[in-house]
Chain A
């Protein structure tokens, strides 16, 4: 079945550091890929997505490229801010329309 594996956290960085959160997936067919972010005390919200191979999703300085050859969708940001502290979830969709398979989440803490 479909599955998503994220790098284990928590991840702790200093402000302006470079961020990478790894995500790999297993799926049949050609899934869409997503990154969601959850700020403290809130629900998940879409950060970015990509619907086909080689697409790059981007938002708020974050980027991720859909790599079919390596079945990966790693999240990157060149310079993190304290306000980026949150839990980040990688997800895939496509096998059952509308249903998403989520990774376990990665906690990011950014210190001033």
Chain B
């Protein structure tokens, strides 16, 4: 199994630009999570999906952030417009009922907004 795949691994952009992060969960997993990690705030859950439906988006910081899951094998997290304070590592994770809640994390996307 290839594990959770994220792209790009690194992204450098300028303030005001749109940023799109991508995630492919492990095949067969029906839960997908987006996290953000910073030194100041640690690991934060932004949003999660079950069977492609958003279940809890209370962690999304503001309207500039949006996430979609058009099918079971793909999800995006979009920031528009981006700001320097969005600089962080963004992780995607997936799990299934058979995993007994064990989440499998991708390698992350390191985002730097200048």
Rounded to whole angstroms, the CA-CA distance of A105 and B106 in the bound complex is 18
Distance (Å) between the CB of B95 and the closest chain A CB?
5
Q: Is the CB of B107 within 8 A of A100?
A: no
With contacts defined as CB atoms under 8 Å apart, how many contacts are there between chain A and chain B in the complex?
Answer: 54
For B, the interface residue count at a CB cutoff of 8 angstroms equals 23
For A, the interface residue count at a CB cutoff of 8 angstroms equals 21
Which A33-73 residues have a C-beta within 8 angstroms of B? 34, 36, 42-46, 49, 51
- Given the known interface contacts A32-B101, A100-B103, the answer about A44 and B48 at a Cβ–Cβ threshold of 8 Å is no
Tell me if B's interface is mostly helix, strand, loop or mixed: strand
Distance (Å) between the CB of A93 and the closest chain B CB?
4
Q: Is the CB of B101 within 8 A of A94?
A: yes
Q: Is the CB of B108 within 8 A of A43?
A: yes
Q: Is the CB of B102 within 8 A of A46?
A: yes
B33 CB contacts on chain A under 8 angstroms: 98-99
Which B92-111 residues have a C-beta within 8 angstroms of A? 93, 95, 97, 100-108
Q: Is the CB of A51 within 8 A of B50?
A: no
Q: Is the CB of B56 within 8 A of A96?
A: yes
Q: Is the CB of B100 within 8 A of A51?
A: yes
Interface residues of A (CB under 8 A from B): 32, 34, 36, 42-46, 49, 51, 89, 93-94, 96-100, 102, 104-105
Interface residues of B (CB under 8 A from A): 4, 31, 33, 42-43, 45, 48, 50, 55-56, 91, 93, 95, 97, 100-108
